[in-house]
Amino acid sequence: MKHPTRLLLAALVLAPASLLPAADGLHDLVANKVAAEYPSLEVLYKDLHTHPELSLMEVKTAAKIAGELRAAGFEVTENFGGTGIVGVLKNGPGPTLLIRTDLDALPVAEETGLPYASTTRVTNLAGQEVPVMQACGHDIHMTVFTGTARMLAAMQDRWSGTVLFVGQPAEEIGVGARAMLTAGLYQKFPKPDYAIALHDSASMPAGTVGTVEGYIMANVDTMDITVRGIGGHGAYPQTTKDPIVLAARIVGALQTIVSRETRPVEPAVVTVGSIHGGTKHNIIPNEVKLQLTLRSYSDGVRQHTIEAIRRICRGEAIAAGLPDDLMPVITVKEEEFTPSTYNDPALTRRVRGALAAWLGADQVLSVDPEMGGEDFSQFGRTQDKVPLCLFRLGAVAPEKVAESQRTGVPLPSLHSSKFAPVPEPTIKTGITAMTAAALDLLAK
Ligand SMILES: [Zn+2]
Ligand SMILES: [Zn+2]
């Protein structure tokens, strides 16, 4: 077993009852409080949506959410690991539960046509002016996070333990969670026994949630390859070593890593997303640049893929007759690596039980793992091996999901300029789901 500690944790996690008693009025209490809080939460949501901020620039966003946590009665630390925020609410003996939201938005020009659409443009950290949009729905996450904080603060007689509310920066570029852990999140604050988060879904109907045990999101690697050659006149190729032909061969050969070298039941992706070389019709250039994204679940497949790319690049360059000092230069951007997200099976089963008890079993879907990345994984990748559960939150009007199924016209995906979550049912379901999970994990 790769994670022997999980067996022990599984026994601990499964010990308490996973179905909450519904007969003591708790569900009604939460439903009434969610309804009472919703109008002010919708104001917050629209404000966050209209005023998005890019990764590592979430200054006003973080201040707003910190203010909300403080108002709910949390002890709040700001500017932790960059613009990160940490809210702690201690409520007697018991486990510590980490609940995470992300804070950042994307450089996308919003085209939803909503009255509260973003028209924000900013100068990014590279000095370019870009549009900004909450195109991944992190504004939904922050609103649910705030609502859940209010719920747990108002119902301290219903749970016991500590909650650690973490607002992490820079999820979209995969560096924010690591920055908070490096800043000492697990040393300076209570160390969590579990960590949970949600991410909205651009394909599931609002009112539903989705879980999957085991891997849910992939290892994400970013790689640059510079294919080198010997340039010259396009009419005299015999005097050159053409890097464009070599790059084309390499792109073709890379396709065999997944199809011929990887066990068919082990997911992997090798995508060459960008290829640039040359300046003019009749000049053979000196180099071609490739940009790749690599995806996998297991560490073994990840390592193999990277090594296979190195071998194929070198082999093709040798076949092209290039000397040793002109082998392709391969850079794996370790600082941008996002590890795969592993949903602890025992914890996920328990969270799913709570979600089903509160939302109804037919509202809790089983979702497929995906090859996208999510740096929530980092919270489970320290030596503490904190068990994680990331679940999905439906965010699309049910009639739009039905229409898409009927017409075959796909819905706007996450990161689309047209992605427009339907706020009220999504936020209310998110708060109910997160509160249900927390009350179960912190049951007295
Ligand atoms: Zn995203
Ligand atoms: Zn996202």
Residue 192 host element (H or E): none
* Ligand found nearest the CA of 172: 1
Distance (Å) from CA 414 to ligand 1 centroid: 7
Distance (Å) from CA 204 to ligand 1 centroid: 16
Is the pTM value of this prediction over 0.85? yes
* Ligand found nearest the CA of 413: 1
Tokens of 421: 């979550």
Distance (Å) from CA 198 to ligand 2 centroid: 10
| Beta carbons within 8 Å of 418's beta carbon, 6+ residues apart | 111, 112, 412
Distance (Å) from CA 340 to ligand 2 centroid: 15
pLDDT tens digits for range 282-334: 999 999 999 999 999 999 999 999 999 999 999 999 999 999 999 999 999 99
Residues with CB under 5 A from ligand 2 (ion): 136
Place of tokens 């640039």: 276
| Beta carbons within 8 Å of 32's beta carbon, 6+ residues apart | none
* Ligand found nearest the CA of 201: 2
β-strand pairing of 129-131 with 209-211: unpaired
How far is it, in rounded angstroms, from Cα 267 to Cα 398?
31
pLDDT tens digits for range 347-380: 999 999 999 999 999 999 999 999 999 999 999 9
Distance (Å) from CA 264 to ligand 2 centroid: 29
CA distances from 444 to 23, 157, 251 (A): 17, 9, 57
Distance (Å) from CA 364 to ligand 2 centroid: 20
Distance (Å) from CA 415 to ligand 1 centroid: 6
Distance (Å) from CA 278 to ligand 1 centroid: 33
Neighbours of 15 (CB within 10 A): 9
Mean per-residue pLDDT pooled into runs of 10, the chain (444 residues): 40 41 78 97 98 98 98 98 98 98 98 98 96 98 98 97 98 95 98 98 98 97 98 98 98 98 97 97 98 97 98 98 98 93 98 97 97 96 97 97 96 97 98 98 96
Residues with CB under 5 A from ligand 1 (ion): 136
